[in-house]
Structure 1
Amino acid sequence: MSDTVRAPAGTIVGRRAGELRRFLGIPYAEAPVGVRRFAAPVPRGRFREPYDASRHGATSQRVPLFATTTIPEPSVPGEDVLNLSVVTPAGAEGRPVLVWIHGGGFLAGSPASPWYDGRSFARDGVVTVTVGYRLGVDGFAPLDGVPANLGLRDLLSALDWVRENIAAFGGDPDRVTLAGQSAGGAAVLALLSSPAAAGRFQRAVSMSGGFFEVGRDTAHGFLERLGDRLAVPPTREGFAGIDVAELQECVRDLRGDEVLMLGPVTGDDILPLGVPEGLARRGLDVPLLLGATGDEFDGGTAPEAARAAGTRVTDTLFRAACPRAARSRREATAGTWLYSFAWPSPATGGATHCVDIPFFFDVLDAPGVREALGPRPPTELAALMHADLVGFVHGREPSWARASGRPGDPAREYGRPGAEFAADTTGVYDPVVPAEAEAC
């Protein structure tokens, strides 16, 4: 049945099923097309007519990064890609809010994934907001005459919309947790370190994120190669003449084995400093929960050999960022807590990238979960992980000790075979302990 909300943004018509209300694909900014394609986001004006929010909005992703992905990531056509979705319990008032940022290497990903459905959070009294933002060249190319970090600027614009409108959906604008996974987790850390984001959220969660800034020289080198392939100059004017889908397809084809070619850059008003340096100065009053999976991109037969050789992408790109973030925040007035996800999926051959998401969201029955987790993922693990995240969003302090960035910091470990689900571990994050950490 239809369900209507009257918000400062206008009248919005979604759907209700029992005690669950969904409002999908609500534009929070004007469509980034034409002269707005490589410009800062413009807040969407008030809807003059009731807005139909019964289906997912257009996605920035036109071309998936891989032929098959662990997470089902549908591409939805359309120009209004700066949209968000709200899932809320019936009768909600003043509930805490979880704002979710999807991953995809800043090149792909979709907020319309069924793995990001907020139904279990709504059941537990949380309003969930899932946000779309510009990707790839359109979102993160450092081009002359273009504001840097457009994708992060989109997310800030979405947070402003939440601040102004979420009370109409039963949420508390003063209890917002910003959370994300992979590139989304990296975006959380970037915004936590940003002076431009101050006051826009009160808690933060980074899952398999890291310090994914891309050097301007690296980005410019890739953009030159991209321009050569497309026979256009690597400029705003050159890329503006290329359809977004064609541009994304070319980025995918040129990417090869490179991990990050486009992403947040430093030196502007959004990220004046690198993320670790920014974390030492900003967001120190914001509680932070962060962690990684045990194998990330080192699943299958690779983990043991790669671990022995000290070459694990998991450690260098993901897990090492966790104690480093804690060290950056050692003067914080708010706590930092670490976790490690160790349950080995029989389908992927390890505790690999993305397989923790259905547990945290408690959506083990969602499409694509059996393919990624096997036929019998442990429901009790999902109940525990989801409860920990719900408690954090509600403002409760995690039950394990805070991290300080010192060697041996405790971390909540989830799902290691033979271990209790609630076991703490020590020393699980540093593949190489930097000398300066010994003195902390």
Structure 2
Amino acid sequence: MKGWWAMTADQTGPVVRTPHGAVRGRYEKGIAVFRGIPYAAPPVGPLRFRPPEPPESWDGVREAGAFGPTAPKPPYSEAFAQYLADPEIPGDDCLNLNVWTPEPDPGARLPVLLWLHGGALTRGSSAVPVYDGSTFARDGVVCVSINYRLGIEGYGLFPDAPPNSGLRDQLAALRWVHEAIGAFGGDPGRITLCGQSAGAISAGALLAAPQARGLIRRAVLQSGPPEVFDRDKVRRMVRRMATRLRIPATAEAFAAVDRDLLLHTQAEVGRLSSPVLGGPAFGIVVDGDLVPGDPLQALIDGDAAPGVELLMGWTRDEYRLWLVPGGLLEHVDRLGPVSLAGAMARCRTGHEVPRGYRALHPNAGTAEIVGQMVTDHLLRIPLHRLADSRPGTCHLYEFAWPSGLPSLGACHALELGFVFDSGAIPASQKLAGEGAPPELCAAMHGAWVRFAATGDPGWEPWDASHPVRIFGDGGPYTAYGPRDAEFALWSPATTVPEPAPATDTDDRPPRTELTAAVRRLRRSVAARRR
């Protein structure tokens, strides 16, 4: 049967016809690879700060052998760049994607994994070497990775432009995959949406999006729960940038600013934010359209993604990637009571919660108590709540293998080289060090392959016994309720209400003793990052 998706091949590589034109990929070690395929028009000129538009169709065959341009982003600071690879590829046509497939045969109907990269919605791209999709294709899964708009251009909140442009880019890519992936050998009815950190948060928002219903069969949320940001928190980020630039806080005014200056200003303002300490930042917001409400609550209530199977989890020491670079771990330990006060404000708890963590972990330092409290509050407890609401359809994991580099432990993003079975490449070793056990890489990667193919990663689904698959030293095993004691410390009796949001004209939340402590800690941390 012939159609728009009909595949041909010539002497230089496989050719596939997509909805907008034919593309020629490359064969690499027996895998057909297509890079830099546009799924939307370049977001420049009148399309900057606007929802994505379809790309212009092209005649002939477009070469798809190299990664396309990455979205505009500031570089990582020196402290983080030593651990995280983040290539920058110049060009305006940044809304592009890549496909790895065993063979672009429309009759193959293979499972599909669509990867959303992390990076706090301000950094990262599909060109990061760790995200090499060839290992999934090698094992019978068509892998797709995408770029999407970041930072002020993807998640700025303005009175004269729609919000969540970066998330709308991701939806456009998901729709492209659903329509086009059959030509590459994929099954549009078996798409697993997979992301880490900001990519997982994005995947959670798309799971709950009415416009994405029916497009996602399964989802993997790595170190990121479904969540939305307070609109005032994002507005503060935009206003602070506007103040530094001496322009109105409008999309029209920002579009007229030199892009390099814009990215420099974004990085400077962002120094005051961190996952542990909070602060103004970019994030997904409720918009009444693509994000009609809190995605976590919609998924818990069963109003969104009915029947979608979930694989979710975290690393044992998430916080260490946020605190080890630049010596912040020791700094938080030295600040002692101020750090604990900051954690209480961040988590909106009374003294009972940190006291409970001290009792459960009597040998832990202040930074570990702070880090684990904040990780549980922001990440693990929401994922637990989601799993509890969907028994029998969720599988949970914890990555516990420690990095070979000093003090990092099983930190945030360390599992990525294991999921992609790319632990031996230099970009993975920047974070893991040398000696990542190949058998653990194979076990974790194999679990993701099985989940994408069947919905069963290889251990029992979530139920009242709280099974969690531990990927650590000595090989994977299943623990039952390994963090239940910590989670039991959190209750309405041990938390305080969230403060009322700031008004549009007020750049500061209500000042209390705890928020003052957070500000002192943020300023101290920011000074060390200079």
- 1:336 to 2:394 alignment: yes
Q: Map 1:37-436 to 2 at 5 A.
A: 37-67=48-78, 68-69=80-81, 70-90=83-103, 92=105, 93-259=108-274, 261-279=281-299, 280=301, 281-298=303-320, 304-305=364-365, 306-308=367-369, 312-329=373-390, 335-349=393-407, 350-404=409-463, 409-415=466-472, 417=473, 420-428=475-483, 431-433=486-488, 434-435=490-491
| 5+ residue gaps, structure 1 | none
Shift of 1:311: 5.6
**AA of the residue aligned to 1:339:** Y
Shift of 1:314: 2.6
**CA contact 1:320–1:429 (8 Å) conserved in 2:** no
When residues 274 and 65 of structure 1 are mapped into structure 2, their CA distance, relative to the original with a 3 A threshold, is farther
Distance 1:31 1:292 in 2: 34
Distance 1:170 1:397 in 2: 22
Distance 2:190 2:245 in 1: 46
Q: Secondary structure at the match of 2:320?
A: coil
Distance 2:457 2:376 in 1: 24
Distance 1:32 1:341 in 2: 37
**1:195-231 deviations in whole A, cap 9, x for unaligned?**
1211111100011112442111111122111101011
Higher Cα radius of gyration? 2
Percent of aligned positions that are identical:
38
**CA contact 1:25–1:83 (8 Å) conserved in 2:** yes
Distance 1:310 1:252 in 2: 23
So what's the TM-score if we normalise by structure 2? 0.77
Distance 1:430 1:275 in 2: 27
| 5+ residue gaps, structure 2 | 1-11, 275-279, 331-362, 493-530
**CA contact 1:298–1:314 (8 Å) conserved in 2:** no
Decide which moves more: 177-186 or 314-323: 314-323
**CA contact 2:404–2:434 (8 Å) conserved in 1:** no
When residues 308 and 32 of structure 1 are mapped into structure 2, their CA distance, relative to the original with a 3 A threshold, is closer
**CA contact 1:181–1:208 (8 Å) conserved in 2:** yes
Decide which moves more: 208-217 or 184-193: 208-217
Q: Secondary structure at the match of 2:364?
A: helix
When residues 429 and 390 of structure 1 are mapped into structure 2, their CA distance, relative to the original with a 3 A threshold, is farther
Shift of 1:91: 5.6
**CA contact 2:208–2:305 (8 Å) conserved in 1:** yes
**CA contact 1:97–1:173 (8 Å) conserved in 2:** yes
Shift of 1:154: 0.5
How many residues end up aligned between the 2 structures?
430
So what's the TM-score if we normalise by structure 1? 0.92
Q: Secondary structure at the match of 1:97?
A: strand
Q: Secondary structure at the match of 1:340?
A: strand
When residues 258 and 54 of structure 1 are mapped into structure 2, their CA distance, relative to the original with a 3 A threshold, is same
Distance 1:309 1:322 in 2: 19
Higher helix residue share: 2
Q: Secondary structure at the match of 2:25?
A: strand
Decide which moves more: 99-108 or 6-15: 6-15
**CA contact 2:32–2:104 (8 Å) conserved in 1:** no
Partner of 1:29: 40
**AA of the residue aligned to 1:250:** T
Distance 1:111 1:178 in 2: 14
